[in-house]
Structure 1
Amino acid sequence: MVEGAFEELFRTYHPVIVAAAFNRLSDVSDAEDAAAEVFAQAWRRRGAADHVFTIEWLYVTLRNVVGNQYRSRTRHQRRVERAGRHHPAPVEGVSDAVLDVRAAVNRLDQADRELIWMAYWEDLSREEIARILGCTTATLRVRLHRARKKLQDTLGEDATNTEEVSWTSSN
């Protein structure tokens, strides 16, 4: 990959990868760090003659980077909670419904959480998601149906009215 091609890859997909990372990590700084790591890995592999960088490759790499950050963050949060200093900051300008949905999504296991983010906040096609996850679209539809059911159960009967929540990354 020549330098100009890498610059085009970065210019085209960096905002997409940062948004995807933010949807998973809920922290701007962590999202930017994750995106930087994705593109650092792409930069290191740019000379591989047989390697083609696709959006799927970027998402799979992001998935691995985010998994590493989750493990690191979980260890850190446990230390902070043990120290008794865990006080989440309030979020201003975001509706309660959006916060409820995001909190419910974040309580899902990592696989279900990824499906919901990719399908609804990142607007990836079912085919793209299937390629990223290495499964068929039929399998993806089943997994997505189950993830939505778990999300609905997590939200509870009283909070299932999410009509005011836009399922896009602008929230």
Structure 2
Amino acid sequence: MEAIYKAHYPAIHQYAARRTNSPDDTADLISETFLTAWRRIADVPKGDDARLWLYGVARRVLANQRRGRSRSAGLAERLKEELAAARPATAGGPDPVREAFDDLPDRDREVLALAYWENLTGPEIGRVLGCTATAARIRLHRARRRLAEALGVTGEGRTFAERGLRGEHL
């Protein structure tokens, strides 16, 4: 296998690089091609025929990647449509809580969503985010404060924002 890899890597790399849009896709194509060759080492022809066999494998791997992307895009579109249809319409115009939430940095939105939409506790949020429970609680506190500031509410008004995050009627 090592001899096959050394002899044919440059050709397979060029083949992959010419047919993919990113270095990551190129690397995936190369690795899947040589993984298939390793698994089917008994089927790999000798000499220069091995290069042609590898091209055939790479071609099929690339086709599988493209089909997978196409299915993923189709699924994403269907989910987007379903979610848009399922999102409750706000009576009386724009939703100030949703707008303020959408304007927050990604980091704040994620911690708030984990707390209010997924009903996770501080330690659970910490595990999801890969930090300590204390760090998660601090992040949540700061995100709540930034949301309240964006809404222009303080003290008791924060419950208004928190109910809006949970999707409750305000």
TM-score range, shorter chain: 0.3 to 0.5
Q: What TM-score does the superposition give when structure 2 sets the normalisation length? A: 0.41
Question: Relative contact order (C-alpha < 8 Å, sep 6+): which is higher?
Answer: 1
Greater helix percent: which structure? 2
Q: What TM-score does the superposition give when structure 1 sets the normalisation length? A: 0.40
